[in-house]
Amino acid sequence: MIPAAFEYVAPASVEEALAALAEHGDDAKIIAGGQSLLPVLRMRLNAPEWVIDLGRIASLRGIRDGGDHLAIGAMTTHHDVGQDPLVHEHALLVSKAITHLADAQVRHRGTFGGALAHADPAGDLGAPALALGSTFVVQGPGGTREVPAEEFFVDLFETAISEDEILTEVRVPKHDGWGAAYEKFVRIAHQWPIVAVAATVRMDGDAIAEARVGLTNMGSTPVRARATEAALSGVPATEEGVAAAAALAAEGTNPPSDLNGDADYRRHLATVLTRRAVLTAAGRG
């Protein structure tokens, strides 16, 4: 219930936070919204000596129009991202996924960057961020670097952010006019999905011109359903056309088996949810 004792610092700038990280290294843990970290500390699955709070760094909050992309500050809460008209207009898939993420109280605290840095394979933001081809801006002692989504997710709870770095911003390329849907399959309310599918499509008349499909909890990281994406291009947005492409959704995935379902069950779920998500994104749901 109560975390082990730790020292606490709440720096006012990214530079100060990086200095604290450099000083305490291995013994330190960053806290953003705390919605994943605090449960871990309370169960004593982790006991850092220092907790560095990013909550006082104003520059990490907010959403900026970057021209061809939206720049989402790492500390912007799920609630604020979900309500943002710019996100709705330019990256509808993100808005759709956030509607299904956790519950209202958790969305008021949990942050966009925190959820992505946490890299839970069942987390709801990885698949949309990957499907939209996002870039992750990471700052460290040596300056800032940009990591493409394909390289950001490394493994279960592991990202390309190294121990002396902080995720500052996520750049999501604009997908104006693309339809979007997030189909999440859960056993109980306000929880992580057994499998979820993030789909966004650009229509050309009655046909799908281009599609991006990201899968949640179908492996140790979010993955793109590449075979489905390729099969969807130029296909009429009909039940049959989409179902044939969706049948390929689990190709190349390596889903886990657990109490909620074994790997084969998840592969099946992925094809069903992909069909639904793509049809909905295409306005045929």
Ligand X SMILES: Cc1cc2nc3c(=O)[nH]c(=O)nc-3n(C[C@H](O)[C@H](O)[C@H](O)COP(=O)(O)OP(=O)(O)OC[C@H]3O[C@@H](n4cnc5c(N)ncnc54)[C@H](O)[C@@H]3O)c2cc1C
Contact call for residues 232 and 242 (beta carbons, < 8 A):
yes
43 binds, among other proteins, ligand X, none (CB under 5 to 8 A by kind): other proteins
116 binds, among other proteins, ligand X, none (CB under 5 to 8 A by kind): none
C-beta closer to other proteins: residue 5 or 259: 5
Please, what is the minimum distance in Å from the beta carbon of residue 33 to other proteins? Answer: 9
C-beta closer to ligand X: residue 120 or 251: 120
Structure tokens at 34: 């705390």
3 binds, among ligand X, other proteins, none (CB under 5 to 8 A by kind): other proteins
* Residue 65 bridge partners (DSSP): 70
104 binds, among ligand X, other proteins, none (CB under 5 to 8 A by kind): other proteins
DSSP 132-153: TT-EEEEEETTEEEEEEHHHHE
* Binding residues for ligand X (CB under 6 A): 29-37, 39, 54, 74, 101-102, 106, 110-111, 113-115, 117-118, 123-125, 161, 166-167, 190-192
**128: Cβ–Cβ under 8 A, 6 or more apart, which residues?**
93, 94, 96, 97, 182, 198, 214
Give me the half-sphere count of Cα atoms (radius 13 Å) on the Cβ side of residue 198: 33
* Binding residues for other proteins (CB under 8 A): 1-8, 10, 31, 34-35, 38-39, 41-43, 51, 53, 55, 79, 102-106, 108-109, 189-190
C-beta closer to ligand X: residue 101 or 237: 101
C-beta closer to other proteins: residue 55 or 140: 55
C-beta closer to other proteins: residue 10 or 272: 10
Containing H/E element for 234?
none
23 binds, among other proteins, ligand X, none (CB under 5 to 8 A by kind): none
243 three-class SS: helix
Closest CA to 212 of 199, 221, 203, 230: 199
C-beta closer to ligand X: residue 32 or 92: 32
C-beta closer to ligand X: residue 32 or 232: 32
Contact call for residues 126 and 197 (beta carbons, < 8 A):
no
Please, what is the minimum distance in Å from the beta carbon of residue 135 to other proteins? Answer: 29
Please, what is the minimum distance in Å from the beta carbon of residue 282 to ligand X? Answer: 25
Contact call for residues 130 and 223 (beta carbons, < 8 A):
yes
**DSSP tally for the chain: helices H, then strands E:** 12, 14
Structure tokens at 98: 């956030």
Please, what is the minimum distance in Å from the beta carbon of residue 177 to ligand X? Answer: 26
149 binds, among other proteins, ligand X, none (CB under 5 to 8 A by kind): none
Residue 58: CB atoms within 10 A of its CB come to 11
Please, what is the minimum distance in Å from the beta carbon of residue 173 to ligand X? Answer: 21
Closest CA to 101 of 75, 73, 116, 123: 123
